[in-house]
Chains A and B, each alone.
Chain A
């Protein structure tokens, strides 16, 4: 993207006030400050510009300090370097080069501005997913961008292309301004993307892990993350044979769950029924990366073979996902009858439902039965009902 301020000489709107020729009084009132780094901004006695008055005009010292700063340390911020942030907290290195900083607020150094995708990186993601037909998972690993962000980029670029086709105006000046203000993750055809854009294997804290549980375990027993998850969800301990099986091939136990999430055990009854909390090894977005690292440690010299195994696992994972999706789609279609009457503009989708004691419940108010319920008040229009989603299920 072309930098907005091409000319380095262009400066800010304060310029007319700083020029000595603008007003006659300002030249006497505002002594020219040295353009090199200014001396300390502490108070120092100075001459009044009104010869007959001994009182110092208010604000003059502050104004002087301000212009001192503008000419001194602030001068370097007047023109920004394209591709770098222009924050107050940016600093100079030994050679006098300005280094960009990610800290926007000088009073709040704990706040860091996160970088956004550059145009090049964004286009590269779209190219790999749409034109080269790579999987979202693979692109996410290669470019170190979260899978959800990859999916969002593909959708948004698609939308942008459509808007271009329809000759709709794009908010380019806005985009350009944002790209100049915040740090960006760049991508180079030759060198790749360099630093990772973000952590791709992050996991949010699960609700079930909030309570602190004191759980005594005998010293002779192996207690690992699988067991911890079972304790958190109050499930009985695993059988010894199962534990041994998991320990023998860690990736197989992970793949069993990731490729078939329906097989996760459940605990509780009725409305309290919930899945047993799985260890983070299975819940992270890219469990096969852990397996790859483990493989590399076991066979450090067989790089190609390790890569092959990794690719095989990735393919198996994708096949399983695809199969699962197809199966779900088929099941949905099986329960649905589509009728297109000749004399109607509409299609009728007739879904099979079940009315039985199990779905309606003993009192006939069960939520799984079809239809709006009787005797259950609807608080739809009551005040204080939050209708937008308040949490994201990851």
Chain B
């Protein structure tokens, strides 16, 4: 059986909040996982305490918390991140950008040019 790194939904109705968990692939989404290695809040937050000028330019942000060393360890022992977790981990620089090709986007583009 495969160990996956995936999201597990918490929070209330219309207020999603996810734990980034390491769990057996066949276990239920919200069952007790092997380990919780982070969180992801998909609700965009408005930055506060800014001047008028800064507030106009500021982007809304999404909060991710992640234990990098644990994430690297689990990937090292063969855990498979789900698509959404892959995206978050690629933002954190733990895995390469594209999951499918087995190589980064740049590499595929370069190959296409050749």
Residues of A within 8 A of B (CB): 337-341, 345-355, 360, 369-372, 374-375, 380-381
Do A349 and B62 contact each other (CB < 8 Å), given the known contacts A355-B35, A372-B19, A375-B32? yes
**By the criterion CB–CB under 8 Å, are B39 and A371 in contact?**
yes
Does B37 touch A at the CB level, under 8 Å?
Answer: yes
A-B contacts, 9 listed (Cβ < 8 Å): A346-B61, A347-B59, A350-B92, A370-B19, A370-B66, A371-B19, A371-B38, A371-B39, A372-B19
Do A352 and B61 contact each other (CB < 8 Å), given the known contacts A339-B91, A370-B38, A375-B32? no
Question: With A and B bound together, what is the CA distance between A381 and B15 in angstroms?
Answer: 13
**By the criterion CB–CB under 8 Å, are B91 and A341 in contact?**
yes
Question: With A and B bound together, what is the CA distance between A352 and B71 in angstroms?
Answer: 11
Q: Which residues of B contact A355 (CB under 8 A)?
A: 35-37, 67, 70
**By the criterion CB–CB under 8 Å, are A370 and B65 in contact?**
yes
Q: Which residues of A contact B35 (CB under 8 A)?
A: 355
Question: With A and B bound together, what is the CA distance between A166 and B99 in angstroms?
Answer: 50
**Residues 12 to 29 of chain B near chain A (Cβ within 8 Å):** 12, 17, 19-21
**By the criterion CB–CB under 8 Å, are A347 and B61 in contact?**
yes
7 tightest A-B contacts by CB? Answer: A371-B36, A371-B19, A372-B10, A347-B61, A351-B65, A355-B67, A347-B59
How many chain B residues touch A (CB < 8 A): the figure is 30
Instruction: Count chain B CB atoms within 10 A of each CB in A348, A354, A360, A381 and give the residue with the most.
Output: A348
Q: Which residues of B contact A347 (CB under 8 A)?
A: 59-62
Do A349 and B70 contact each other (CB < 8 Å), given the known contacts A370-B39, A374-B32, A375-B32? no
Question: With A and B bound together, what is the CA distance between A349 and B91 in angstroms?
Answer: 10
**By the criterion CB–CB under 8 Å, are A353 and B38 in contact?**
yes
Q: Which residues of A contact B12 (CB under 8 A)?
A: 380-381
**By the criterion CB–CB under 8 Å, are B61 and A349 in contact?**
yes
Do A350 and B91 contact each other (CB < 8 Å), given the known contacts A371-B19, A371-B38? yes
Taking CB as reference atom, which chain B residue is nearest A374?
Answer: B32
Does B68 touch A at the CB level, under 8 Å?
Answer: yes
**By the criterion CB–CB under 8 Å, are B65 and A350 in contact?**
yes
Give, as a whole number of angstroms, the nearest-CB distance from A211 to chain B.
39
The one of A341, A349, A354, A371 in contact with B63, judged by C-beta atoms closer than 8 angstroms, is A349
Question: With A and B bound together, what is the CA distance between A347 and B58 in angstroms?
Answer: 9
Q: Which residues of B contact A380 (CB under 8 A)?
A: 12
The one of B19, B60, B64 in contact with A350, judged by C-beta atoms closer than 8 angstroms, is B64
Question: With A and B bound together, what is the CA distance between A348 and B93 in angstroms?
Answer: 12
Does B102 touch A at the CB level, under 8 Å?
Answer: no
Question: With A and B bound together, what is the CA distance between A345 and B59 in angstroms?
Answer: 7
As a 0/1 sequence over residues 86 to 114 of chain B, the CB contacts with chain A under 8 angstroms (1 = contact) are 00100111000000000000000000000
Q: Which residues of A contact B38 (CB under 8 A)?
A: 353, 370-371
Q: Which residues of B contact A339 (CB under 8 A)?
A: 91-92
Question: With A and B bound together, what is the CA distance between A353 and B66 in angstroms?
Answer: 6
Taking CB as reference atom, which chain B residue is nearest A354?
Answer: B67
Question: With A and B bound together, what is the CA distance between A348 and B59 in angstroms?
Answer: 10
Q: Which residues of A contact B76 (CB under 8 A)?
A: none
Does B78 touch A at the CB level, under 8 Å?
Answer: no
Give, as a whole number of angstroms, the nearest-CB distance from B15 to chain A.
10
Question: With A and B bound together, what is the CA distance between A314 and B62 in angstroms?
Answer: 40
Q: Which residues of B contact A345 (CB under 8 A)?
A: 59-60
Q: Which residues of B contact A340 (CB under 8 A)?
A: 59
Question: With A and B bound together, what is the CA distance between A381 and B63 in angstroms?
Answer: 24
**By the criterion CB–CB under 8 Å, are B62 and A346 in contact?**
yes
Q: Which residues of A contact B64 (CB under 8 A)?
A: 348-351
Question: With A and B bound together, what is the CA distance between A352 and B21 in angstroms?
Answer: 15
Give, as a whole number of angstroms, the nearest-CB distance from B47 to chain A.
9
Q: Which residues of B contact A375 (CB under 8 A)?
A: 32
Q: Which residues of B contact A381 (CB under 8 A)?
A: 12
Question: With A and B bound together, what is the CA distance between A346 and B58 in angstroms?
Answer: 10
Give, as a whole number of angstroms, the nearest-CB distance from B102 to chain A.
21
Known: A337-B93, A347-B60. 10 other contacts (CB 8 A): A348-B62, A351-B66, A354-B67, A369-B36, A370-B36, A370-B39, A371-B20, A371-B21, A371-B39, A375-B32
Give, as a whole number of angstroms, the nearest-CB distance from B32 to chain A.
5
Q: Which residues of A contact B93 (CB under 8 A)?
A: 337
Give, as a whole number of angstroms, the nearest-CB distance from A343 to chain B.
11
